[in-house]
Amino acid sequence: MSTRISPAVRRRRLALELRRLRDEAGIKAADVAKELGCSPGKISQLENGHVGVTVPDVKAMLELYGVTAERRDALVELARSAREHGWWEPYADAMHPWRRSYVGLETEASTVLAYRSELVPGLLRTEDYVRAVLAARPEPAPAEQVIALVGLYRERQASLDAGTWRFVLDESVLRRLVGSAEIMRGQLDRLLEAGKRENVTLQVLPFAAGAHPAACGSYTVLEFAQDPAVVYLEHLTGAEYVEDEDAVHRYRAVFEALTTRALSRTRSATLIRDAAREL
């Protein structure tokens, strides 16, 4: 686990606890909304961790739920820490809103399972590759935003120093020319370096594997030491966070199935080197 603490993880932890306490108290979200003077929709957002919650609102909710003083103090302190700024705040304006929560979760994940079908995962990208991907957007980012995002990617990669990281990359990730042959060679070298880390497992799913259960696209499973796992799915205009236990289990199972069809770490490294030589 990263030594960098994530307010996003604390906010999610608080949200899960508030939802559990309300359920245990047998109180409807509409009644909580009435007590706080807000809409039931806001309570739903608070309990999903999509928006932050103020300390006064937390105190009011806990009193309504009949939470004991000792437990209440601990949750109020959690609410305070959940409102602190994360290390990524200097880059917040350059990120899509849905990415901010993901970076926070990624920071404290103990295990990450990532399948990528088109592009190299963010934590493994070179700066040149990042710039080439940004340049390919329908509306290229302004120069100052590119500089900020490159810095963000650089700092995110510190998360690789801890935890367990398991990547399965479709062979198309290696073959797709992003930027130029020189950029791709540098990127493929970076993949080889990352694959040598003891806490990183990098496998390639070759074209020869044929149809597979993750043909629906890329996804990431983030697991935590104290909190339930979550699946992150990103699309063109937003992202989805899947927390349903059965759904998360299915995504995990598909990932494990991919690892059995993918090449071993050694053979994956060989294929990466072959792809670099062919550029």
Asked if 33 and 146 sit in the same domain, the reply is no
Asked if 19 and 134 sit in the same domain, the reply is no
Grade residue 4 by pLDDT with cuts at 50, 70 and 90.
Answer: low
CA distances from 73 to 9, 55, 246 (A): 19, 11, 33
Asked if 247 and 148 sit in the same domain, the reply is yes
Asked if 47 and 168 sit in the same domain, the reply is no
Question: Which pLDDT value is given to residue 1?
Answer: 45
For 210-267, give the DSSP string: -S-TTTT--EEEEE-SSS--EEEEEETTEEEEE--HHHHHHHHHHHHHHHHHSPPHHH
Give the long-range contacts of residues 245-252, CB within 8 A, separation 24 or more: 248/221, 251/219, 251/221, 252/113, 252/221
Q: What range defines the domain where residue 22 resides?
A: 7-82
Asked if 77 and 97 sit in the same domain, the reply is no
**Structural domain count of the chain:** 2
Asked if 105 and 212 sit in the same domain, the reply is yes
Asked if 30 and 153 sit in the same domain, the reply is no
Q: Which helix (H) or strand (E) holds 149?
A: helix 143-156
Is residue 1 a part of any domain in this protein?
Answer: no
Q: What share of the chain is helix, strand, coil (3-state, %, to 5)?
A: 60, 15, 30
Asked if 155 and 270 sit in the same domain, the reply is yes
State which of 82, 116, 142 marks the end of a domain. Answer: 82
Asked if 263 and 151 sit in the same domain, the reply is yes
Is residue 2 a part of any domain in this protein?
Answer: no
Q: Which helix (H) or strand (E) holds 200?
A: strand 200-205
**Percentage with pLDDT > 90 across the chain:** 55
- Contact between 155 and 147 under an 8 Å Cβ cutoff? The reply is no
Fill in the DSSP letter of residue 86.
P
Question: Which pLDDT value is given to residue 235?
Answer: 87
Is residue 64 a part of any domain in this protein?
Answer: yes
Asked if 151 and 203 sit in the same domain, the reply is yes
Q: Per-residue pLDDT tens for 109-150?
A: 999 999 999 999 999 999 999 999 999 988 878 899 999 999
Asked if 234 and 112 sit in the same domain, the reply is yes
State which of 82, 102, 136 marks the end of a domain. Answer: 82
Residue type, 82: A
State which of 42, 66, 82 marks the end of a domain. Answer: 82
Q: Per-residue pLDDT tens for 203-250?
A: 999 999 999 999 889 999 999 988 889 999 998 888 898 989 999 999
